[in-house]
Amino acid sequence: MNDFLAMGGHGFFVWSSYGVTAVVLAIELFSLRARRRAAMKQASTTGDAR
């Protein structure tokens, strides 16, 4: 396990790469979900009597 994390001494580089990728993808997915929710909420209330 330690070897796995150490990645031959280059653990920082490998895990920063995979880590930042994961973070960036998560940010995209979360912001997309927020955008969809906002759009659906607005779509579902448009046209209602004020």
Partner 1 sequence: MNLYLFSSPATFYPLAGRLAPWFAGAASILGVVGLWIAFAIAPTDFQQGEVYRIIFIHVPSAWMSMFIYLVMAFWGIMALSFNTRLSSMLAQSLAPTGALMTFIALWTGALWGRPTWGTYWAWDARMTSELILLFLYFGVIALRNAIDDPRRADRACALLSIVGAINVPIIYFSVKWWNTLHQGASVSLTAAPKMAATMLTGMLVLAFAAWFYTIAVSLWRVQAIILERERGAAWILSMRKAKMVTA
Residues that bind partner 1 (CB under 8 A): 4, 7-10, 13-14, 16-18, 20-21, 24-25, 28-29, 32, 35-44, 46-47
State the Cα–Cα distance between residues 21 and 23, nearest whole angstrom: 5
**What's the CA gap between 31 and 12, in Å, rounded?**
28
Nearer to partner 1, 44 or 50 (CB): 44
15 with 7: CB under 8 angstroms? yes
Which residue, 42 or 50, is less far from partner 1 as judged by CB? 42
The nearest distance, CB 36 to partner 1, in angstroms, is: 5
Question: Could you tell me how many residues make up the chain?
Answer: 50
